[in-house]
Structures are given as C-alpha cells and as structure tokens.
Amino acid sequence: MKKIYLDNAATTPIDSSVIEVMQNSMQENFGNPSSSHQFGRKAKNLVENARNNIAKLFHVSASEIIFTAGGTEADNLILYNAVTNLGVQRIISSKIEHHAVSHTIVFLQDNYQIDVDFVELEPSGDVSIEHLEYLLKSSEKKTMVSLMYINNEIGNILPINKICNLCIKYKALFHSDTVQAIGHYAIDLQKLPIDFIVASAHKFHGPKGVGFAYFKKGLGIQPLFHGGNQEKGARSSTENVHGIVGMEKALVMASETLEKDKLVMNSIKSYFIDCLKELNSEIRFNGNSANLEKSSCTILNVSFPASNDMLIFNLDLHGIAVSGGSACQSGSNKGSHVLHEILIDDEEKFTSVRFSFSRFTTKSEINYTIEKLKKLL
C-alpha cells in the first residue's frame, strides 16, 4: 500500500538535512547553554548564532527573537504580556483563529476582565476591513488586534498590509499568528510593521517542540513561568539546543527556495483542483482555498457534495493522510469552528476535507488520491 501524506498543515516531514544537523548537535554539543565552561559556551554560541541568523531573515535584531516550545507557547506569551505587562485593555480578534489564540483570549477575558470584540467575516472567511476599522475607532482603550496571517483550515491570506495600516492609524498593537506563513511566505518586518509574530519549526520541515516569538523592540516581556531566567528572563527553561539548531537549518533552507517552492505547491494545488472538478462538478471549495492569489499554496479545503462519515478513515486505509472539517471526521463532537462560522447549515452537513501540501508533494500522489476518491465517493 502506498503512503501519501497530504496533511502538511498539521505538521511536515523533517528534511534530511535538518535531521543531519540535529544529529551532529546531539553527538557533539551536549553542554547546558547556561554553564560557564567550554561545553556550555559552545552550546550557547549555537543558540545565539541561530538567533542571529533567524533574525536576519526577518530583518530584525536578535534581541527581538525569543525561543519557545512552539507556536502555541509563543501566542500565549504574547497575549499574556499584552494584558499583564503592556496595559492592553481590549483585544479585537476573529472567531476563526487557532485555539492557541482564541482559548487564550477567553482565559484573559475571564481572569483579567479585558474587553473582547470579534470582527465580522465575509462569506469567504475574509475579515471585514470596514468592520475592523469601526471597532478600532469605537473605543479609546488600549487595544491589541490579533488576526492570523494564514488560516490553518481554509488557507485564507489576511490582507496584512491593510491591517498594519489600520493598527498604526488607531494606535493599536498588532499580533499575528504566522505559524502557517513562516517558511512559505516572505515576511520583512522592516516593511511590515507587525508588533508580534510566532513560528513553529515543524510547519516548515523542522523538528517539533521548538519555535519562536518576535517582540518588537521596546515592548517588554515578562515570563509565563519562572525558574532559570533563560532567554534574557523572558522564558525560563534550558534551551532546546538541538531543536533550535534544526529550526535554524529548516528556516534558512526554506528561505532560499521560497519562491520556487511556492510555484511548485501552487502547481500541485491547481492540478488537484482541476482533477476534483472533473471528478464531480458539484464539489466546492471552502473559503478562498481554491483561489491561488487569496489563499496559501499549502492548503485546499474541499467540500464534497454528500455526507460521508467514513471518508477520512477510508482514505487512511488506502494510505492517504488528510484532516477533517467536521465532527465525524475530526473525532471531536464540536466539529470545525472555522467552517461553522463561514458555512450555512445546508453546506456544513456535507463532508469537508483539508488537503495540505509541501514541497515534497508530487502529481503522482495527487493522481493516486483522485483514483481512490473515485471509488470512495
């Protein structure tokens, strides 16, 4: 049986070059970066070199990069600091954010009595720019806007320049969960005035359990938890040296082939869309995911014209790994909160599947998937 991996928005396979770099680090660099002896200093140098190299990719200073255990911790660290350290009294977000953001906002609202407003969504899942501006000018409380750059379920790309301009106009802080964007789309933080972004290495062929938060210079940081005072006091915990080295390698590699990889993935995505349309003319695509200009090259969210509770399970039996967009497919009794917000009831009852691609995805894998979908549908 073939093994076809089309769930790259969940996690990506680690590149062999990343594995090699990490293996060498594990064998040669076991020192604790906080130790003052030569073994510790060597490990510390690796961490700081990685910080410098990652910072250069975003055109920021190394001091603005804080290493974390991934995107979820980075989002929590940023949102927590906004309220407890930077005086934010109000957060504007959307109802289709990743739970790392939405659940954290609920926690902060319950425990710190902040105001929370949700921007309206277009039927496509896009943020209403007009409503966002209305919300921004409706209060004089110190505000943070928290909107993800690329939606992890439907792939919609946020018009991030417009959001930045609005936040500057109304003096609001801007946090964007960029987990699905980093490693696939260039982000120049000198040209794009975002205050906070996050990354998770396993989304761009790096290791799991490591990521970073970017805090714009001048925005102070207080730790979520306390202990060894690492990361200049922003995050206590012995640094994941091998993970950080692996993330650096994966991100540098991704940045070197960014545009080429984007063309490859968009070609695969476009081919898959055409094949699906030929398979069944009633197939629909959720959000903007079929629009190559308005959605990520990595994500296609497909609504099949029937309710097929076992589709994802049966695809798995044929060796094809994908993600679901409804309760019966995800194993959750709540289903997809993203699709719930943008689909009408009649549309939501149909089976939706998220297919997601990487630079390693091939047309032969798409052909095999289409062949099995013909039988299963």
pLDDT (0 to 100) of residue 228 = 84
Catalytic residue among 164, 167, 297, 328: 328
**Measured between alpha carbons, how far is 316 from 310 in angstroms, rounded to an integer?**
10
In CATH, the number for domain 16-256 is 3.40.640.10
Which token pair is 130?
């007009």
Q: Over 80: is that where the pLDDT of 325 sits?
A: no
* Segment 271-279 mean pLDDT: 97
CA 100 to chain centre: 10
Q: Over 70: is that where the pLDDT of 55 sits?
A: yes
pLDDT tens readout for residues 144-191: 999 999 999 999 999 999 999 999 999 999 999 999 999 999 999 999
Contact 63, 217 (CB under 8 A): yes
Q: Look up tokens 């020192």; give the residue.
A: 31
Q: Looking at 113-127, 272-286, 321-335, which range is the least confident one?
A: 321-335
pLDDT (0 to 100) of residue 306 = 86
In CATH, the number for domain 4-12+258-376 is 3.90.1150.10
Active-site residue flag, 328: yes
pLDDT (0 to 100) of residue 326 = 37
pLDDT (0 to 100) of residue 34 = 92
Q: How far is CA 28 from CA 94, 268, 303, 329, in A?
A: 46, 40, 49, 44
Band of residue 327 on the pLDDT scale cut at 50, 70, 90: very low
* Segment 119-140 mean pLDDT: 97
Q: Over 60: is that where the pLDDT of 244 sits?
A: yes
* Segment 352-368 mean pLDDT: 98
Q: Over 70: is that where the pLDDT of 204 sits?
A: yes
Band of residue 335 on the pLDDT scale cut at 50, 70, 90: confident
- Mean pLDDT over the full length of the chain: 94
Domain residue extents for the chain: 4-12+258-376, 16-256
To the question of pTM greater than 0.85 for the whole model, the response is: yes
